[in-house]
């Protein structure tokens, strides 16, 4: 399809967005609410149209009704505006199409051609990665695309490096890398953006961000829920593929990367790739000492009994899939030599929590009470969820005439909700969708990032298979297997759990 385009206009936001999987959970729970918020804030261009695509046969009125119901469910009541809702719903169109059958794509081309203004087409694939290639090829063959069309794909892409390459090759046959947007929603979080500002705009931290001043780093991504009916997917993936390969490794990259030359997309992503290349591989002797796999058993969550992983509906009772992973790794370069990175993530944890803790080294000469020596180190706590914020744990003198020079620990805190009470913290998908419309890629994952992350994880998975080691059990509602506590304790440290 030939349309007049403006390839050099990176800030252009008047696009048409075609959403494959428009009736799915991700679209209804996250994407449509995010698009509504952009519209309500005046950030969705007045000419932008939204096309929902799904296999189900429903009318446009039914589709708009489903979206309206989702907005009423997932958007806070105080943020629902009747005028904004009407304007947003009027943008919606719907086409029933079998994603694997080429014949149905002519309707998409016709929809694109009905625009009064020429706009780039953004294709959002909120579907399984196994059909990304089919959709891209059919869109191209139907004439629905032009040189400004973009595609947004969800991670994880593939099951391992080999399958990831097959999928990325299929996408690459139609879309050049400069027009592929691989989403990791963690990269759209306000606090993750503040991590870049914190590191590179503040000399206080920039000069201290190395092995001379940081003793260790820990990252926790804890989920309170179980598998939420995703047995078929999750049992094939496991927690390493589902969480470590994308979310946790992206956070490691942002913490460990060197300063980019500028804020251009490739400058940032070049530095992230260097970190992934420098990640320490796991040797056989490290597996038993520095990696813990777990699988939750029956327990309690918020005082309610919950089933174990093997007791979930549809479960394969002989499954050895891990629902928890803890590990000690590192980055082999000058900045981070000798600094361990402790990572842990699991399901059925006591809290929903995503948190980074930077532990700074103690002063070499200590002059205060010997029994308080363990306190004498600063910590930078970066909270991604449930409430985003950043705090620096510092030591001061305890107040009172009878305290002497006793120390007390307290935070210098930036809580976004308290610091900006009138400002709404946007959902990660709002930021990511807006950046796609602008044609900006710095919050998205480049193909070589995906490949290096898979290569590192594949080596670990291969070593697990060779050892044929079963995951350790932990009760639902706990912080994982006891071995994960022993793993960090053997280094004279402990997980930070002052929530």
DSSP string for residues in 174-233: TS-GGGEEEE-GGGGSHHHHHHHHHHHH-HHHHTT-STTTEEEEEEEEE-SS--TT-HHH
**Are 144 and 122 contacting, i.e. CB atoms less than 8 angstroms apart?**
no
Per-residue model confidence (pLDDT) at position 411: 63
Is the pLDDT at 430 greater than 90, yes or no? Answer: yes
Question: How far apart, in Å, do the first and last CA atoms of the chain sit?
Answer: 55
pLDDT in tens, 194-218: 888 888 988 888 889 999 999 999 9
Mean pLDDT of 302-308: 92
Is the pLDDT at 426 greater than 90, yes or no? Answer: no
pLDDT band at 417 (very low <50, low <70, confident <90, very high): low
Reported pTM: 0.89
Per-residue model confidence (pLDDT) at position 7: 39
Mean pLDDT of 233-250: 92
Of 72-76, 261-265, 284-288, give the lowest mean pLDDT range: 284-288
Contacts of 14 by beta carbon, 8 Å cutoff, 6+ apart? 45, 46, 47, 48, 117, 119
Is the pLDDT at 407 greater than 60, yes or no? Answer: no
Active site residues: 247
Is the pLDDT at 338 greater than 70, yes or no? Answer: yes
Closest CA to 87 of 124, 50, 126: 50
Per-residue model confidence (pLDDT) at position 401: 46
Structure tokens at 305: 């009994």
Mean pLDDT of 344-351: 96
Among residues of the chain, what percentage have pLDDT more than 90? 66
DSSP 260: P
Q: Where are the alpha helices (DSSP H) in 217-303?
A: 231-239, 249-256, 265-278, 284-290
Structure tokens at 140: 């191209």
Per-residue model confidence (pLDDT) at position 6: 39
Per-residue model confidence (pLDDT) at position 170: 97
**Distance, CA of 147 to CA of 419 (rounded, Å):** 44
Computed over every residue of the chain, the mean pLDDT equals: 88
Structure tokens at 39: 């519209």
Per-residue model confidence (pLDDT) at position 387: 80
pLDDT in tens, 29-77: 999 999 999 999 999 999 899 999 999 999 999 999 999 999 999 999 9
Mean pLDDT of 263-275: 93
pLDDT in tens, 100-126: 999 999 999 999 988 766 789 999 999
CA dihedral sign of residues 198, 204, 207, 211: negative
- Asked if omega into 386 is within 30° of 0 (cis), the reply is yes
**Distance, CA of 94 to CA of 5 (rounded, Å):** 25
Per-residue model confidence (pLDDT) at position 167: 96
**Alpha carbon separation from 421 to 40, 103, 425, 431 (Å, rounded):** 19, 51, 10, 19
pLDDT in tens, 467-482: 888 899 999 999 999 9
Per-residue model confidence (pLDDT) at position 4: 40
pLDDT band at 416 (very low <50, low <70, confident <90, very high): low
Mean pLDDT of 174-193: 90
User: Which residues are registered as beta bridge partners of 411?
Assistant: 393
**Distance, CA of 284 to CA of 396 (rounded, Å):** 44
User: Residue 305: in which H helix or E strand, if any?
Assistant: strand 304-306
Per-residue model confidence (pLDDT) at position 405: 58
pLDDT band at 10 (very low <50, low <70, confident <90, very high): very low
Name the burial class of residue 82, with classes exposed (0-12), middle (13-18) and buried (19+) by CB atoms within 10 angstroms of its CB. exposed
Buried b (16+ CB within 10 A) or exposed e, 242-259: bbbbbbbbbbbbbbbbbe
Among residues of the chain, what percentage have pLDDT more than 70? 88
pLDDT in tens, 349-365: 999 999 999 999 877 76
């Amino acid at each position: 399809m030939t349309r007049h385009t403006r390839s050099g206009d990176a800030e252009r936001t008047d696009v048409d967005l075609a959403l494959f999987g428009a009736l799915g959970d991700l679209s209804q729970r996250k994407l449509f609410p995010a698009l509504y918020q952009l519209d309500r804030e005046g950030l969705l261009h007045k000419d932008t149209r939204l096309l929902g695509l799904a296999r189900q046969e429903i009318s446009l009125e039914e589709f708009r009704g489903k979206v309206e119901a989702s907005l009423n469910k997932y958007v806070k009541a105080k943020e629902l505006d009747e005028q904004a809702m009407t304007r947003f719903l009027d943008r919606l169109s719907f086409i029933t199409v079998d994603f694997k059958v080429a014949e149905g794509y002519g309707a998409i081309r016709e929809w694109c051609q009905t625009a009064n203004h020429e706009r780039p087409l953004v294709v959002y694939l909120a579907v399984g990665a196994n059909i990304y290639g089919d959709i891209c090829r059919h869109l191209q063959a139907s004439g629905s695309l032009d040189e400004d069309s973009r595609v947004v794909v969800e991670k994880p892409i593939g099951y391992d490096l080999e399958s990831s390459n097959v999928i990325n090759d299929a996408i690459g046959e139609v879309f050049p890398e400069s027009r592929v947007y691989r989403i990791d929603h963690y990269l759209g979080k306000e606090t993750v953006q503040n991590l870049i500002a914190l590191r590179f705009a503040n000399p206080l931290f920039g000069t201290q961000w190395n092995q001379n001043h940081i003793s260790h780093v820990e990252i926790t991504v804890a989920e309170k829920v179980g598998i939420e009916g995703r047995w078929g997917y999750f049992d094939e993936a496991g927690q390493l593929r589902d969480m470590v390969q994308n979310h946790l490794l992206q956070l490691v990259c942002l913490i460990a990367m060197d300063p980019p030359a500028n804020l251009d997309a490739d400058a940032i992503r070049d530095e992230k790739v260097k970190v992934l290349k420098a990640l320490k591989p796991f040797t056989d002797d490290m597996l038993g000492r520095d990696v813990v796999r777990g699988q939750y058993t029956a327990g309690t969550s918020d005082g309610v009994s919950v089933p174990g992983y093997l007791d979930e509906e549809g479960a394969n009772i002989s499954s050895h899939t891990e629902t928890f992973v803890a590990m000690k790794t590192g980055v082999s370069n000058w900045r981070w030599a000798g600094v361990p990175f402790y990572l842990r993530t699991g399901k059925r944890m006591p809290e929903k929590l995503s948190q980074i803790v930077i532990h700074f080294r103690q002063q070499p000469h200590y002059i205060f009470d010997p029994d308080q020596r363990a306190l004498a180190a600063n910590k930078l706590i970066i909270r991604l969820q449930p409430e985003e914020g950043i705090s620096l744990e510092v030591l001061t003198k305890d107040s009172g005439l009878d305290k002497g020079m006793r120390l007390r620990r307290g935070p210098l805190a930036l809580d976004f909700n308290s610091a900006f009470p009138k400002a709404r913290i946007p959902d990660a998908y709002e930021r990511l969708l807006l950046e796609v419309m602008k044609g900006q890629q710095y919050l998205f994952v480049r193909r070589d990032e995906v490949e290096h992350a898979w290569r590192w994880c594949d080596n670990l998975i291969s070593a697990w298979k060779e050892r044929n080691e079963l995951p350790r059990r932990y009760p639902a509602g706990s912080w994982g297997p006891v071995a994960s506590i022993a793993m960090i304790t053997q280094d004279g440290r402990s997980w930070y759990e002052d929530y």
